[in-house]
């Protein structure tokens, strides 16, 4: 790979320049660091050097040769679901910021270890504290889950990478909706379709039924809303602890 060799050569050249402090971090890179630690750091480690579950992005040719998101953007948007990398919903601006952060990390890693830009702190495994995770779980999660019921054996059911993906991005769960007809009669079913004019459900007998939205009252419930609303409130320490705890549910 010629391009990689040139990168290494440039990095080695740079290393002969007078030692400087960390490369300056642009505003975009700072912003990207926040987005990254929130959305990616749990799997790839907050400094992008990887964990036992996801690769070191500082060793990724794809990251190194990205130009304006042409290589990394599609991986973020589409994920590699069969390989433990879920699609992550970020705006185009956030994707650019994440890439600015990764490039800043690369520049720093090359400077720190110019002979082998790939060797930078490779070993980083998930080292959460399961006991702390259990305390958090008992406080925050037992409203909807139980370690002895729905999540029993979850650590055995999924590989660590799958479990992370399930926890961060549970499979699409259907919304349920209760329709109240003008007569007062109610029917609850699975939401199939909704726009400004029409609402359609599959009723408990399996039938497709639809109404004009102005003819009925309806209340939609998203079972995942609570789960998803919590995610952005976790720090990566909390997530690592929770994950260590979930892994003990064998």
Contact residues: ligand HEC, CB under 6 A: 39-40, 42-44, 53-55, 57, 60, 62-63, 72, 75-76, 80, 83-86, 88, 90, 98, 137, 140-141, 143-145, 150, 154, 161, 164-168, 170, 173, 223-224, 226-227, 230, 242, 246
Placement of tokens 């790939």 in the chain? 118
- Residue 45 or 179 with smaller CB distance to ligand HEC: 45
Nearest approach in angstroms of CB 131 to ligand HEC is 15
What are 139's two structure tokens? Answer: 């406080």
Contact 189, 226 (CB under 8 A): no
Residue 37 CA to residue 57 CA, distance in Å, equals 13
Residue 240 CA to residue 60 CA, distance in Å, equals 23
- Residue 75 or 201 with smaller CB distance to ligand HEC: 75
- Residue 160 or 189 with smaller CB distance to ligand HEC: 160
Closest residue to ligand HEC in the complex (CB): 226
Residue 135 CA to residue 128 CA, distance in Å, equals 13
Nearest approach in angstroms of CB 38 to ligand HEC is 9
- Residue 31 or 60 with smaller CB distance to ligand HEC: 60
Nearest approach in angstroms of CB 94 to ligand HEC is 8
Residue 59 CA to residue 65 CA, distance in Å, equals 11
R_g of the chain, CA atoms, integer Å: 23
- Residue 162 or 213 with smaller CB distance to ligand HEC: 162
Q: How many CA atoms lie within 13 A of 4 on its CB side?
A: 11
Nearest approach in angstroms of CB 63 to ligand HEC is 5
CA distances to 77, 192, 205, 239 from 57, rounded to whole Å, are 16, 39, 49, 20
Placement of tokens 């779980």 in the chain? 137
Nearest approach in angstroms of CB 142 to ligand HEC is 8
**Which of 46, 88, 48 has its CA nearest to residue 239?**
46
Nearest approach in angstroms of CB 67 to ligand HEC is 14
Contact 88, 73 (CB under 8 A): no
Residue 128 CA to residue 140 CA, distance in Å, equals 17
- Residue 34 or 209 with smaller CB distance to ligand HEC: 34
- Residue 57 or 187 with smaller CB distance to ligand HEC: 57
Nearest approach in angstroms of CB 185 to ligand HEC is 28
């Amino acid at each position: 790979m010629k391009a990689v060799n040139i990168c290494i050569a440039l990095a080695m050249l740079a290393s002969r320049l007078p030692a400087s402090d960390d490369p300056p971090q642009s505003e975009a890179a700072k912003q990207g660091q926040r987005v990254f630690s929130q959305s990616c750091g749990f799997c790839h480690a907050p400094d992008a050097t990887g964990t036992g579950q996801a690769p070191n992005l500082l060793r990724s040719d794809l990251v190194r040769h990205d130009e304006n998101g042409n290589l990394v953007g599609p991986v973020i948007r589409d994920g590699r679901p069969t390989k433990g990398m879920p699609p992550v919903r970020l705006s185009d601006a956030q994707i650019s910021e994440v890439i600015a952060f990764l490039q800043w990390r690369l520049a720093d890693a090359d400077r720190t270890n110019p002979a082998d830009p790939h060797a930078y702190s490779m070993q980083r495994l998930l080292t959460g504290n399961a006991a702390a995770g259990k305390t958090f779980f008992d406080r925050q999660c037992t409203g909807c889950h139980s370690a002895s019921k729905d999540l029993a054996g979850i650590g055995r059911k999924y590989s660590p990478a799958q479990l992370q993906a399930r926890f961060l991005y549970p499979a699409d769960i259907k919304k349920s909706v209760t329709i109240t007809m003008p007569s007062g009669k109610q029917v609850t079913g699975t939401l199939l379709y909704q726009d400004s004019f029409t609402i359609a459900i599959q009723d408990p007998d399996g039938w497709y039924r639809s109404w004009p939205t102005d003819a009925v009252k309806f209340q939609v419930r998203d079972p995942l809303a609570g789960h998803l609303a919590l995610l952005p409130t976790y720090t990566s320490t909390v997530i690592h602890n929770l994950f260590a705890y979930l892994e003990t549910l064998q």
